[in-house]
Amino acid sequence: MAKEPILQINQLLTQFYSDGGKVNAVNNVSLEIREGQTVCLVGESGCGKSATAMSVMGLIDPSSGQVSNGEVLFEGQDLLKMKKGDLRRLRGKDFAMIFQEPMSSLNPVLTIGEQITESIIEHELLSKKEAKQRGLELINLVGIGRGEEIFSSYPHQLSGGMLQRIMIAIAISCNPRLLIADEPTTALDVTIQAQILDLLRNLKEERNMSMLLITHDLGVVAEVADYVIVMYAGKIIEQGPVVELFKNPKHPYTKGLLAAKPVINQRREKLYTIPGQVPNLIDLQPSCYFSERCEHCMSICTTKQPPMKQIRDSHDVACWLYEEEVSV
């Protein structure tokens, strides 16, 4: 029997303001994450991955944008309808996020210890002494030695890899049931990337956490994902179990992403790139958003958006190539 979704997003529409009009950064997105499952959200920069995560966390800056429509159900509760105080009590405790840039996410004038224990004191109602002990345990858990020294250090005194581990320590400090990780290995060297991914995988298994991992790195996806969701221009265009999607990609965009990935011991005269440009998200036409870049483009692709269609069990794609009958 399949486990119930811990997170269910229905028809989420997130818009940002610009001089030219509203940008549909997340365009009627629906997805779900089940208990203990790792879902990877992939796509090129600007496709709406991070905006989806920030919408879930309730962190869209009202001066720059808004969630205009949809539901974000965490264990059946719609986070979008919650009062700010109620949402703040859940955020950090029941679900938490590892942000993309630790140096800009951590407060430069507070010690590492102060930043780790802040959430513990607020959500777990522990004393400062008890919170410090928990903080030292977390520093050790994420693979950093010299706990007392690190606890008293400031962000600028630590390396990028150490800061990313501190971000993970902060995120898991209250044992969240859902962890959102936004590009957790960006700007780290390959060796540190592997260590961070191993750490996340081990923590997930030990704590039975659900995880939404946002990345553009298909190598990361292959290593950690149970299920993959591919986004393009704010919309989900393909989704499926990781092995199935990598073995049998259906959407031309997904095929292009996989073809553009370098392969060890495979010589190529030139690395494949997807032709063309992403469409203007302010002036989107009623068409397949990938149509101008697609070598399989048909007349219907330029006039009508394809619906999501199930190809195999749990493998869905939005592409007119897979309609049994196409009216041109």
Residue 328 confidence class, pLDDT cut points 50, 70, 90: very low
In the block, tokens 């010589």 appear at 267
Give the CATH number of the domain where residue 310 resides: 3.40.50.300
pLDDT band for position 325 (50/70/90)? very low
Examine residue 182 and state whether it is found in any structural domain, yes or no.
Answer: yes
Predicted confidence at residue 65, as pLDDT, reads 96
Q: Cα 160 from chain centroid?
A: 20
Q: What is the residue type of 99?
A: F
**Would 328 be classed as within a structural domain?**
no
Euclidean distance between CA atoms 234 and 253, whole angstroms: 14
Q: What is the pLDDT of residue 268?
A: 62
Nearest alpha-carbon partner for 317 in 260, 201, 235: 235
Q: Are residues 86 and 229 in the same domain?
A: yes
Do 21 and 135 share a domain, yes or no?
Answer: no
Residues 184 and 268 in one domain: yes
Q: Which domain holds residue 164?
A: 106-175
Q: Determine the Cα–Cα distance for residues 94 and 123; give it in Å rounded to an integer.
A: 10
Q: Are both 227 and 317 inside the same structural domain?
A: yes
pLDDT per residue over 138-153, tens digit each? Answer: 999 898 888 899 999 9
CA 229 vs CA 3, 70, 192, 301: distances in Å: 19, 18, 25, 21
Tell me the average pLDDT across 169-179: 93
pLDDT digits (tens, 9 = 90+) for 236-253: 999 999 999 999 999 999
Indicate whether 101 belongs to any domain. no
Give the orientation angle of helix 128-141 with respect to helix 160-171, to 10 degrees: 130
Whether 168 is covered by a domain: the verdict is: yes
Distance (Å, rounded) from C-alpha 208 to C-alpha 196? Answer: 18
For position 266, what pLDDT does the model report?
64
In a shared domain, residues 196 and 290: yes
In a domain, 145, yes or no: yes
Name which of 178, 149, 152, 181 is nearest 165 in CA terms. Answer: 181
One domain, residues 140 and 244: no
Q: What is the DSSP string of 197-221?
A: HHHHHHHHHHHT-EEEEEES-HHHH
> Domain check: are 129 and 215 in the same one?
no
CB of 147 closer than 8 Å to CB of 140: yes
Asked which of 148, 175, 202 is the last residue of a domain, the reply is: 175
Same domain, residue pair 55 and 87: yes
Per DSSP (E only), the strands in the chain are 5-18, 21-34, 38-42, 65-74, 77-78, 95-98, 178-182, 210-215, 227-232, 235-241, 309-312, 315-317
Percentage, residues of the chain above pLDDT 70: 95
If asked whether residues 87 and 201 sit together in one domain, one would say: yes
Q: Which two tokens stand for residue 126?
A: 């522990």
Among 175, 205, 221, residue at a domain's last position: 175
Question: Does a structural domain hold residue 70?
Answer: yes
Same domain, 170 and 215: no
Amino acid identity of 282?
I
Give the number of domains in the chain: 2
Domain boundary among 143, 160, 175: 175
In-domain check, residue 100: no
Residues 165 and 86 in one domain: no
Determine contact, residues 55/41, Cβ cutoff 8 Å: no
Are residues 226 and 191 part of one domain? yes
Cα angle: 119, vertex 124, 129; to 5 degrees: 80
Element (H, E) at 129: helix 128-141
What's the rounded mean pLDDT across residues 319-328?
68
* 327 in any annotated domain: no
